[in-house]
């Protein structure tokens, strides 16, 4: 069967003037919100539970379960929308923010109603300045259209919508760092427990949900949780937006049903590995996740199957690398990224990413000894699982998985004086 | 008990580097949040939008507006990569060199820009028109790699030619204004 | 943080490296380890601050959890099994120390912290055997930059434990030191590097576990192993902060805090901590002198005391006791104060005795009822004016703790404010505290009276001037009260009246004890003394008192003597000699006072030493009997104030 998209999140794309309130209403926008307001918050949560929707930010935690952690009877409560998409290789939230911002606002308001949250804050990364301004315009429209504020769509539910722009810090995608950033502090992760559901923003019960997660809600409310669940498999229900980039013919985002689609299907949707080249490695999930090889192409987009193979679907990315790729160089770039983005809070991440980065540069340049390669592995051991938050842990995952899978390539760099992959490429050319 | 602002030694300045409009923006932002401190990032953005960067005086004034200490504002301002401590060029070019862009020629693009602008990565061109920076987060434009962002807009599938055209256009705009 | 006192819960048992230990629910693993006698290295955790778990040094194995857990931030659970001595933990500590040393300058030979540095100590004990930092090079930061005239900052030595930042946030609240920048470039600094201005800067080097924050006045002064530490009490005010006097070659080199959770909570104010020069003053009375028998000449202190006694005996014979007065000082110990009032009342027979110039009408021990620790338990604390915190600065930190950590209400009102509106606001409280400086004790009494009808209980704390102003009152060094606040049969002249009598020529003899800066600064003091026929002075320092003495007996400073002092809240604590008495200083003031008394026929029970003297005074003031170990005196009807 040829790979096929299944458009749920992206079903309205291409409709005229979709980023305006009128354009969105023309495709039935905000009808789900009106419908939700006639339901009880519990009934909405039940539909979300039935849909099997899991968080699309990377951790894949069941959304309804996350909502259920809010302590009963404690108000005010807050909803935060994580639009801090920064995972290398991920750009799906950007697509949703740019192409259908009102769908996100509608989903946000539905969630806010289900949670009985008084405020919903949309935390959007600083680099998405144009998208932020678009979102701010849409929020203004939503207020003017009566969908936000003191009376949401004429109901007695009140909810303020606030767009909050970040300013360049990957760590703010971590939900507790996002909360600190929203409180006007350095965006550094908080000690857990207490978890945000109990003591989150301003010390109040708080839910943080990803853009894609919430953008699914209008569909789920309209069609029911079961209909959504039926789109995928029992273990991995629904559709998901995947970002395919790297050495493919047509990089882009593709919405596919979970479970029944494979990694190979995604590569195919993106036009296959670029002409004249063959697949060397895959990175699903985004920059944090472990590398996979061509032998993993048949893996379905199923949380467990990919986890069993030693990686993760993470935030819905797939970076494709062909035989011209040096895995040491790719590792170095990712390590540099984590080094730059470490918040500096805990020792193993702050110092470890620095050590890692220095070593990777020496290795990539062919200057490192084999002892230094052993040192690299030791450093990663002292970081993984020892850091305050997942950033430091994940700063080791790709490089260590690449070292395991492409050990010869790493070893060939030791004392080589230059990158052997590049040298080979020159010889071939 | 002295307020935090007093303790930090920042007088409530009525005149300063922030314009009336910027202060109004900060106050509007402040009013939106349950806690005034939450407006720190929007306030710093407002200051930077006006001044092009965030000097110490601006931080102190932001602190005053939010009723927190100047040191607290500096702690925040220096944490986030997008607030400039020193004035950058008229246009800020961020070249993504993360994995997806690197796989599709970001390094060549960066080298080309360095050559064209006559600056090293991180520098500002002699005419003050461009600041070039590649130590940036993934710009979320992997589908259009290699990508770069000039000020608030991203440019995808960049080639040397297209980048040259873009630079020419931006220069011309600057000359016209 | 709950404002209600926590209900005691049943203890639970956890196992630390195979050792079972019982702890209260809510205890942190780190504290449980300490209780089990298992040392866990840590940089960021601090007993007085909230856990942050950033240094990761304390990671340990907990139960079957696959990840190592931070002992400083993990709460115990019943049956929890903690392992700190495993290979996994050992390897991680080694790795983490390698990380910490990666960008550290390793300048221990020129670092003031050398020898008492946790980085040095843990690197020795748990660190890697070799350095691999040649691979990486180091990131450089500012070194040896003054953060104020008291504190130096070395950003390269900093390990970013956040203690100074949290100190400025949680303890003082000025938030002057913050984290700046990010990742490996993170530093601690003030806004634009501007100077610190707070009154509690000296605690910063103490909370710093390494040599990043150091004292300017201790810079390159000493190594810790060359110092001798003597536990004592700060003489800067009457708050009673515990400290260690670090001395070398009979000089005080520095003062360090010694945590007393009931008093200082481990914090000192800069006025107290940096009072070192006062303790090393060289303008000392080095020898006894008299001009009683011929021209003024030096002689042994015991001979001078004998000469003074003879002169006084003659004078008493000629004129009787009522033209004799005794003026002590709020710097003297309880034993000395008690001995002086004994000398005055029981031996000489004069009621004219005091220790300062202020009058204390309607004084009762009730105005010292409120304890420092109890400030955390008051529903509302009312502070009158700025004087209490100016007089006893560390009080500010306790008030902040009461307010921010314990959720209490702290109201600062003008000392001359009308009590009625406040009484209308503060109603229905279980316990209200009223804190005032002795200057404002009348206003405090009126306020307490106004608050009493609307609230459960109102307790007062009066902050007294002078290190032992409170003890002098307890000891009856007052014209109208005997030891233990018993009314005197005949009220004598107070300090100011004594001086007036001297000026008027109505005073023939005065026994005066120094140092008494208040007295010596009083205009006309020296002229008044000149009109007194016989001035017998005991004082350590040169000045108006020593100049006007006809019999001058050298005294000891607070770091040279033994005894007890009583803080404003009534806590009876020991001072100990950190330095040898200055050469030629001779016997202690206590011994001299008792010898003079004995020479005049007085009976003093026991040897003239501090400890037996305390027994004597505790007989007269029973509240002092159960104060051993630095407890508050237990006054009749107070229960046990602890």
pLDDT digits (tens, 9 = 90+) for C241-275: 999 999 999 999 999 999 999 999 999 999 999 99
pLDDT beyond 70 at C509: yes
Query: Cβ–Cβ contacts within 10 Å for residue C422, how many?
Result: 16
Query: Cβ–Cβ contacts within 10 Å for residue A407, how many?
Result: 12
Q: Does C548 touch chain B (CB under 8 A)?
A: no
Is residue B116 domain-resident?
yes
Query: Which chain A residues are Cβ-neighbours of C160 within 8 angstroms?
Result: 344, 347, 350
- Do B9 and C175 make contact, defined as CB atoms within 8 angstroms? no
Query: Which chain C residues are Cβ-neighbours of A362 within 8 angstroms?
Result: 135
- Do B59 and C178 make contact, defined as CB atoms within 8 angstroms? no
pLDDT beyond 70 at B6: no
Q: Are residues B117 and B147 in the same domain?
A: yes
Q: Are residues B55 and B102 in the same domain?
A: no
Predicted confidence at residue C585, as pLDDT, reads 65
Q: Are residues B50 and B103 in the same domain?
A: no
Q: Does C261 touch chain A (CB under 8 A)?
A: no
| pLDDT single digits (tens) B23-73 | 999 999 999 999 999 999 999 999 999 999 999 999 999 999 999 999 999
Among B41, B58, B79, give the residue marking a domain's end. B79
Distance of CA C558 to the CA centre of its chain: 13
Of residues C5 and A421, more confidence is placed in A421
**What distance in Å separates the CA atoms of residue C565 and residue C237, rounded to the nearest whole number?**
11
CA dist list (Å): B134 to A344, B78, B101, C319: 21, 18, 11, 97
Q: What are phi and psi of C399, to 5 degrees?
A: -65, -40
Is residue B85 domain-resident?
no
Place of tokens 């800066």: C517
> DSSP string spanning A136-156?
HHHHHHHHHTTSSBSSGGGSS
Q: Point out the residue among C179, C194, C197 whose CB comes nearest to the CB of B75.
A: C179
Name all chains with 3 or more CB-CB pairs below 8 Å to chain B. Answer: A, C
pLDDT beyond 90 at A66: yes
Task: Give the containing element (helix H, strand E) for A407.
Answer: helix A407-413
Percent of chain C with pLDDT over 70: 97
Chain A residue closest in CA terms to B98: A333
Q: Does A245 touch chain B (CB under 8 A)?
A: yes
Q: Point out the residue among B1, B7, B74 whose CB comes nearest to the CB of C192.
A: B74
pLDDT beyond 80 at C611: yes
Q: Does C174 touch chain B (CB under 8 A)?
A: yes
Q: Does C67 touch chain A (CB under 8 A)?
A: yes
Q: Does B78 touch chain C (CB under 8 A)?
A: yes
Predicted confidence at residue C583, as pLDDT, reads 62
| pLDDT single digits (tens) A132-190 | 999 999 999 999 999 999 999 999 999 999 999 999 999 999 999 999 999 999 999 99
> DSSP string spanning C206-237?
HH-SSSSEEEGGGTTT--GGG-EEEEEE--SS
**What distance in Å separates the CA atoms of residue C182 and residue B75, rounded to the nearest whole number?**
9
Name the domain count of chain B: 2
Q: Are residues B160 and B96 in the same domain?
A: yes
Task: Give the containing element (helix H, strand E) for B35.
Answer: none
pLDDT beyond 60 at C642: no
Token representation of residue A218: 């209008």
Predicted confidence at residue C4, as pLDDT, reads 46
> Confidence band (pLDDT; 50, 70, 90) for B146?
very high
CB C54 within 8 A of CB A345: yes
Q: Point out the residue among A93, A126, A133 whose CB comes nearest to the CB of B80.
A: A126
CB C469 within 8 A of CB C355: yes
Q: Are residues B61 and B100 in the same domain?
A: no
Q: Are residues B146 and B169 in the same domain?
A: yes
> Confidence band (pLDDT; 50, 70, 90) for C487?
very high
> Confidence band (pLDDT; 50, 70, 90) for B8?
very low
Containing structural domain, residue B60? 4-79
- In a mutational test of the C interface, the residue from B58, B67, B75 whose CB has the highest number of chain C CBs within 10 Å is B75
Query: Cβ–Cβ contacts within 10 Å for residue A108, how many?
Result: 28
Name all chains with 3 or more CB-CB pairs below 8 Å to chain A. Answer: B, C
Q: Are residues B70 and B108 in the same domain?
A: no
- Do A337 and B138 make contact, defined as CB atoms within 8 angstroms? yes
Q: Point out the residue among A191, A355, A358 whose CB comes nearest to the CB of C73.
A: A191
pLDDT beyond 50 at B5: no
CB C217 within 8 A of CB C232: no
Q: Does C184 touch chain A (CB under 8 A)?
A: yes
**What distance in Å separates the CA atoms of residue A207 and residue A220, rounded to the nearest whole number?**
19
Predicted confidence at residue C285, as pLDDT, reads 94
Place of tokens 């979102």: A135
> Confidence band (pLDDT; 50, 70, 90) for B87?
very high
Q: Does C96 touch chain B (CB under 8 A)?
A: no
**What distance in Å separates the CA atoms of residue C566 and residue C333, rounded to the nearest whole number?**
8
pLDDT beyond 80 at C608: yes
Is residue B152 domain-resident?
yes
**What distance in Å separates the CA atoms of residue C363 and residue C477, rounded to the nearest whole number?**
13
**What distance in Å separates the CA atoms of residue A375 and residue A381, rounded to the nearest whole number?**
10
pLDDT beyond 90 at C167: yes
| pLDDT single digits (tens) A275-300 | 999 999 999 999 999 999 999 999 99
Q: Sheet with C151-153: list strands edge to edge.
A: C145-146, C151-153, C213-215
Query: Which chain C residues are Cβ-neighbours of A350 within 8 angstroms?
Result: 99, 160, 183-184, 186
Predicted confidence at residue C637, as pLDDT, reads 85
- In a mutational test of the C interface, the residue from A167, A184, A351, A390 whose CB has the highest number of chain C CBs within 10 Å is A351
Chain B residue closest in CA terms to A90: B140
pLDDT beyond 60 at C641: no
Q: Point out the residue among B33, B100, B135 whose CB comes nearest to the CB of A319.
A: B100
Distance of CA C317 to the CA centre of its chain: 44
> Confidence band (pLDDT; 50, 70, 90) for A67?
very high
Query: Which chain C residues are Cβ-neighbours of A387 within 8 angstroms?
Result: 56
Q: Does C361 touch chain A (CB under 8 A)?
A: no
Query: Which chain B residues are Cβ-neighbours of A168 within 8 angstroms?
Result: 80-83, 136-137
Q: Are residues B167 and B95 in the same domain?
A: yes
- Do B45 and A334 make contact, defined as CB atoms within 8 angstroms? no
Q: Reduced to 3 states, what is the DSSP secondary structure of residue C263?
A: coil
Q: Point out the residue among A342, A351, A378 whose CB comes nearest to the CB of C100.
A: A351
Average pLDDT of the segment spanning C164-175: 98
Average pLDDT of the segment spanning C458-475: 98
C428 CB burial (10 A radius; 0-12, 13-18, 19+): exposed
Among B79, B104, B119, give the residue marking a domain's end. B79
Mean pLDDT of chain C: 95
**What distance in Å separates the CA atoms of residue C371 and residue C630, rounded to the nearest whole number?**
13
CA dist list (Å): C492 to A347, C133, C496: 68, 76, 11
Predicted confidence at residue C638, as pLDDT, reads 86
Q: Are residues B118 and B43 in the same domain?
A: no
Is residue B86 domain-resident?
no
Distance (Å) from the C-alpha of residue B1 to the closest C-alpha of chain A?
A: 24
Place of tokens 């110990």: C333
Q: Are residues B54 and B111 in the same domain?
A: no
Q: Are residues B106 and B169 in the same domain?
A: yes
CB C351 within 8 A of CB C488: yes
**Full-model pTM:** 0.95
- Do B59 and C173 make contact, defined as CB atoms within 8 angstroms? no
CB A187 within 8 A of CB A171: yes
Predicted confidence at residue A347, as pLDDT, reads 98
Q: Are residues B110 and B152 in the same domain?
A: yes
Instruction: Name, in order, each residue with C-beta under 8 angstroms of C356's C-beta and a sequence gap of 6 or more.
Output: C329, C330, C465, C466, C469, C472, C495, C516, C518, C519
Predicted confidence at residue C551, as pLDDT, reads 97
Q: Reduced to 3 states, what is the DSSP secondary structure of residue C537?
A: strand
Is residue B111 domain-resident?
yes
Q: Does C198 touch chain B (CB under 8 A)?
A: yes
Is residue B53 domain-resident?
yes
Residue A149: strand pairing partners: A159
Is residue B84 domain-resident?
no
Among B79, B104, B122, give the residue marking a domain's end. B79
Q: Point out the residue among A186, A346, A382 whose CB comes nearest to the CB of C92.
A: A382
Average pLDDT of the segment spanning C424-429: 96
Mean pLDDT of chain B: 90
Q: Point out the residue among A169, A352, A362 whose CB comes nearest to the CB of C99.
A: A352
| pLDDT single digits (tens) A95-111 | 999 999 999 999 999 99
| pLDDT single digits (tens) C174-210 | 999 999 999 999 999 999 999 999 999 999 999 999 9
Average pLDDT of the segment spanning C287-312: 95
CB C387 within 8 A of CB C440: yes
CATH number of the CATH domain containing B155: 3.40.30.10
Percent of chain C with pLDDT over 90: 94
| pLDDT single digits (tens) B70-85 | 999 999 999 999 999 9
Helices within C128-214 (DSSP H only): 163-166, 203-207
Predicted confidence at residue C9, as pLDDT, reads 80
- In a mutational test of the C interface, the residue from B71, B76, B82 whose CB has the highest number of chain C CBs within 10 Å is B71
The CA-CA-CA angle for residues A387, A389, A390, to 5°, reads 95
Q: What are phi and psi of C135, to 5 degrees?
A: -65, -35
Name all chains with 3 or more CB-CB pairs below 8 Å to chain C. Answer: A, B
Distance of CA C295 to the CA centre of its chain: 43
CB A137 within 8 A of CB A131: no
Is residue B69 domain-resident?
yes
**What distance in Å separates the CA atoms of residue C608 and residue C595, rounded to the nearest whole number?**
8
């Amino acid at each position: 069967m040829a790979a096929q998209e299944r458009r749920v999140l992206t079903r309205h794309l291409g409709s005229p003037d979709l980023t305006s309130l009128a354009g969105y209403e023309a495709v039935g926008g905000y009808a789900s919100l009106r419908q939700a307001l006639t339901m009880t918050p519990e009934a909405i949560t039940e539909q979300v539970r039935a849909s099997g929707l899991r968080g699309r930010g990377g951790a894949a935690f069941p959304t309804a379960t996350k909502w259920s952690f809010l302590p009963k009877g404690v108000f005010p409560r807050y909803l935060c929308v994580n639009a801090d998409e920064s995972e290398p290789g991920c750009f799906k939230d950007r697509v949703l923010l740019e192409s259908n911002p009102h769908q996100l606002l509608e989903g946000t308001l539905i969630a806010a109603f289900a949670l009985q949250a008084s405020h919903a804050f949309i935390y959007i990364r600083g680099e998405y300045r144009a998208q932020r301004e678009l979102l701010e315009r849409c929020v203004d429209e939503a207020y003017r259209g009566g969908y936000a504020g003191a009376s949401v769509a004429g109901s007695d539910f009140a909810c303020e919508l606030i767009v909050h722009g970040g300013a360049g810090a990957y760590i703010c995608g971590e939900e507790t760092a996002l909360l600190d950033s929203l409180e006007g502090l350095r965006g550094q992760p908080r000690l857990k427990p207490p978890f945000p559901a109990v003591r989150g923003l301003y010390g109040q019960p708080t839910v943080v949900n990803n853009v894609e997660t919430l953008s699914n809600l209008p569909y789920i409310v309209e069609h029911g949780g079961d209909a959504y669940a039926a789109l995928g498999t029992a273990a991995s229900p629904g559709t998901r937006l995947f970002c395919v980039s790297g050495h493919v013919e047509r990089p882009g985002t593709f919405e596919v049903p979970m479970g029944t689609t494979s990694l190979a299907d995604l590569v195919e949707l993106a036009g296959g590995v670029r002409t004249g080249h063959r697949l060397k490695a895959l990175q699903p999930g985004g920059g944090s996740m472990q590398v996979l090889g061509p032998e993993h192409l048949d893996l379905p987009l199923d949380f467990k199957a990919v986890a069993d193979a030693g990686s993760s679907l993470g935030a819905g990315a797939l970076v494709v690398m062909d035989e011209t790729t040096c895995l040491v160089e790719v590792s170095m770039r990712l390590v540099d990224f984590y080094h730059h983005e470490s918040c500096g809070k805990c020792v193993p991440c702050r110092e470890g990413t620095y050590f890692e980065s220095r070593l990777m540069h020496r290795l990539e340049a062919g200057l490192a000894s084999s002892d230094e390669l052993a040192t690299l592995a030791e450093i990663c051991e002292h970081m993984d699982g020892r850091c305050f938050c997942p950033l430091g842990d994940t700063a080791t995952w790709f490089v260590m998985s690449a070292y395991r899978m492409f050990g010869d390539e790493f070893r060939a760099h030791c004392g080589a004086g230059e990158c052997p992959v590049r040298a080979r490429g020159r010889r071939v050319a | 008990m002295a307020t935090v602002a007093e303790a930090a030694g920042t007088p409530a300045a009525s005149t300063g580097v922030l314009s009336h409009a910027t202060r109004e923006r900060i106050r509007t932002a402040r009013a939106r949040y349950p806690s005034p401190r939450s407006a720190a990032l929007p306030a710093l953005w407002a200051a930077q939008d006006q001044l092009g960067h965030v000097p110490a005086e601006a931080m102190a004034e932001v602190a005053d507006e939010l009723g927190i200490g100047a040191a607290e504002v500096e702690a925040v301002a220096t944490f986030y990569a997008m607030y400039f401590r020193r004035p950058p060029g008229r246009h800020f070019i961020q070249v993504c060199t993360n994995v997806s862009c690197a796989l599709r020629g970001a390094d060549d693009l960066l080298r080309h820009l360095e050559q064209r602008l006559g600056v090293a990565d991180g520098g500002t061109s002699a005419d003050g028109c461009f600041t070039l920076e590649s130590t940036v987060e993934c710009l979320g434009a992997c589908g259009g790699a290699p990508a770069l962002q000039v000020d608030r807009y991203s440019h995808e599938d960049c080639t040397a030619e297209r980048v040259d055209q873009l630079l020419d256009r931006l220069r011309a705009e600057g000359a016209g204004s | 943080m709950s404002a209600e006192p926590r209900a005691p819960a049943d203890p639970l048992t956890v196992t630390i490296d195979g050792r079972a230990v019982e702890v209260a629910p809510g205890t942190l693993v780190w504290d449980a380890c300490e209780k089990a006698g298992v040392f866990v290295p840590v940089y960021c955790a601090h007993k007085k601050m909230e856990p942050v778990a950033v240094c990761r040094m304390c990671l340990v194995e907990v139960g079957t959890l696959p990840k190592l857990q931070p002992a400083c931030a993990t709460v115990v659970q019943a049956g929890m099994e903690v392992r700190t001595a495993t290979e996994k933990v050992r390897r991680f500590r080694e790795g983490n120390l390698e990380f910490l040393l990666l960008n550290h300058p390793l300048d221990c030979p020129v670092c003031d912290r050398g020898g008492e540095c946790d980085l040095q100590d843990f690197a020795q004990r748990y660190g890697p055997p070799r350095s691999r930092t040649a691979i990486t090079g180091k990131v450089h930061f500012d070194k040896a930059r003054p953060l104020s005239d008291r504190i130096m900052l070395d950003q390269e030595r900093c390990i970013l434990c956040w203690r100074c930042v949290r100190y400025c946030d949680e303890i003082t609240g000025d938030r002057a030191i913050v984290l700046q920048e990010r990742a490996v470039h993170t530093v601690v600094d003030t806004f634009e590097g501007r100077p610190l201005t707070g009154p509690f800067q000296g605690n910063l080097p103490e909370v710093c576990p390494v040599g990043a924050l150091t004292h300017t006045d201790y810079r390159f002064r000493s190594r810790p192993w060359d110092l001798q530490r003597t536990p004592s009490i700060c003489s800067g005010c009457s708050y009673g902060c515990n400290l260690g006097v670090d001395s070398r070659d009979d000089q005080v080199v520095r003062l360090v805090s010694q945590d007393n959770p009931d008093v200082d909570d481990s914090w000192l104010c800069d006025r107290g901590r940096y009072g070192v020069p006062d303790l090393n003053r060289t303008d000392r009375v080095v020898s006894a002198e008299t001009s009683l028998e011929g021209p003024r000449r030096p002689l042994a202190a015991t001979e001078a005391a004998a000469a003074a006694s003879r002169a006084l005996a003659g004078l008493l014979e000629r004129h009787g006791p009522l033209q004799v007065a005794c003026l002590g000082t709020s710097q003297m110990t309880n034993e000395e104060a008690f001995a002086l009032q004994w000398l005055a009342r029981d031996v000489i027979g004069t009621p004219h005795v005091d220790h300062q110039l202020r009058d204390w009408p309607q004084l009762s021990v009730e105005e010292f009822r409120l304890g420092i620790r109890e400030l955390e338990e008051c529903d509302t604390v009312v502070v009158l004016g700025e004087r209490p915190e100016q007089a006893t600065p560390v009080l500010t930190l306790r008030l902040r703790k009461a307010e921010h950590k314990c959720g209490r209400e702290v109201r600062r009102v003008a000392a001359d404010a009308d009590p009625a509106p406040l009484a209308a606001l503060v109603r229905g409280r279980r316990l209200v505290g009223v804190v005032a400086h002795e200057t404002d004790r009348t206003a405090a009494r009126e306020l307490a009276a106004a608050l009493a009808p609307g609230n459960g209980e109102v307790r007062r704390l009066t902050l007294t001037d002078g290190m032992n102003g409170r003890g002098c009152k307890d000891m009856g060094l007052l014209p109208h009260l005997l030891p233990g606040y018993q009314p005197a049969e005949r009220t004598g002249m107070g300090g100011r009246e004594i001086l007036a009598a001297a000026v008027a020529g109505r005073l023939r003899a005065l026994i005066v004890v120094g140092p008494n800066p208040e007295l010596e600064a009083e205009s006309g003091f020296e002229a008044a003394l000149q009109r007194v026929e016989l001035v017998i002075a005991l004082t350590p320092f040169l000045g108006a008192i020593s100049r006007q003495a006809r019999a001058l007996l050298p005294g000891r400073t607070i770091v040279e003597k033994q005894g007890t002092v009583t803080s404003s809240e009534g806590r009876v604590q020991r001072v100990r000699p950190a330095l040898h008495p200055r050469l030629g200083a001779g016997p202690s003031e206590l011994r001299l006072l008792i010898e003079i008394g004995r020479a005049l026929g007085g009976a003093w029970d026991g040897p003239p030493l501090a400890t037996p003297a305390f027994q004597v005074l505790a007989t007269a003031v029973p509240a002092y009997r159960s104060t051993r170990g630095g407890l508050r005196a237990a006054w009749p009807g107070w229960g046990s104030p602890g």
